[in-house]
Structure 1
Amino acid sequence: MAAEIKVGDKAPDFTLEDQDKNPVTLSSFQGKKNVVLAFYPLDWSPVCTNENTCFSNDLPKFDHANAVVFGISTDSVWSHKAWKENLKLKHNLLSDIKRKVCQDYGLFIPEANINKRATVIVDKSGIVRYVKVQEILTARDDNEILKALEQLK
């Protein structure tokens, strides 16, 4: 497994399917938008539910910061689809079911077979500008992420 991703690294490119089985490629946003990769452990869990609901509610703020938000977990596209519909989420969820992306970013927890709770901001040139890995039961703070995005303007 790769070392944990850090600020200044070139973000490993990837293509993952969203909840509608549409491919999403990280490098397709280069030169256009900053990308917030919100790695979270599991659909349907309490902390992840609250976090992703907050992301959806704050989406206009992320749009204003010229950023797109993707939730990423090792759950299937079908789980993502059901969870997104159930919560009425507005952002897309990417399925890393093969665990390749979380391993490439050094965010895989082998003994649990899931990824860590982590936020990675990739700027328009494909460089990692912000990384925060959190305790698995600690929710992230959207305001902190938005503040980091403001620095990129």
Structure 2
Amino acid sequence: MLLTLAIFGFGASAKSQVANGTKVPDFELKDQDGRNFKLSDALAKGPVVVYFYPKDDTPGCTKEACSFRDSFEQFKDEGVQVVGISADDVASHKKFAEKYKLPFTLLSDEDNKVRKLFGVPKTMMMPGRVTYVLDKNGVVVHQFNSMTKAEQHVEEAIAAVKKM
């Protein structure tokens, strides 16, 4: 029973997931160009959508990234930055962004430090897929967690942004 719970990602990690109404801690990671990205610097410019995904250039993650790409102008028009985070390295992110012409920031969280900071749960031993919409103060106003509904992450984020 405990093994089953661990495999499917239930348990302690889900309890510590950042909740709506919570101010997220600041963090700094390298982007796909090797530059430092600091959340507080991004928030100084306005709201931010932070989405965690399992792996570059895999079917679900590509579908999700391309959906964010295709809706990018809607976020931009609302003054919202989009940031994707996975454990892939900078070079992998660069290749992924170029291959699919992704106009937003991808961050390398190789040691899963930021994933753990947000409490993103694992699903079936894989890193989870969770999207957070942060207001300009860094407070979570909406979150969506689904491994299988990759494109719905974008729909949920747009709806939340329009309510801000």
Contact kept? 1:34, 1:67, Cα under 8 Å: yes
Instruction: Decide which of 133, 138, 149 is 2:149's aligned counterpart.
Output: 138
Deviation at 1:109, TM superposition (A): 2.6
Residue identity matched to 1:29: A
Residue identity matched to 2:156: E
Unaligned segments of structure 2, at least 5 residues: 1-12
Larger radius of gyration: 2
Identity of aligned residues (%): 35
Q: For residue 122 of structure 1, what is the aligned residue in structure 2?
A: 134
Q: For residue 93 of structure 2, what is the aligned residue in structure 1?
A: 80
> Are 1:30 and 2:43 counterparts?
yes
Contact kept? 1:99, 1:108, Cα under 8 Å: no
Local SS of the residue matching 1:38? strand
Higher percent of residues as strand: 1
Local SS of the residue matching 2:132? strand
Q: How many residues matched?
A: 150
Tell me, in whole angstroms, the C-alpha distance in 1 between the residues paired with 2:25 and 2:111. 16
Unaligned segments of structure 1, at least 5 residues: none
Local SS of the residue matching 1:102? helix
Deviation at 1:108, TM superposition (A): 4.5
Tell me, in whole angstroms, the C-alpha distance in 1 between the residues paired with 2:50 and 2:18. 12
Residue identity matched to 2:22: D
Local SS of the residue matching 1:84? helix
Report 1:3-152 matches (<5 A).
Answer: 3-109=16-122, 112=125, 115-134=127-146, 136-141=147-152, 142-152=154-164
Tell me, in whole angstroms, the C-alpha distance in 1 between the residues paired with 2:81 and 2:144. 17
Query: Normalising to structure 2: TM-score of the pair?
Result: 0.85
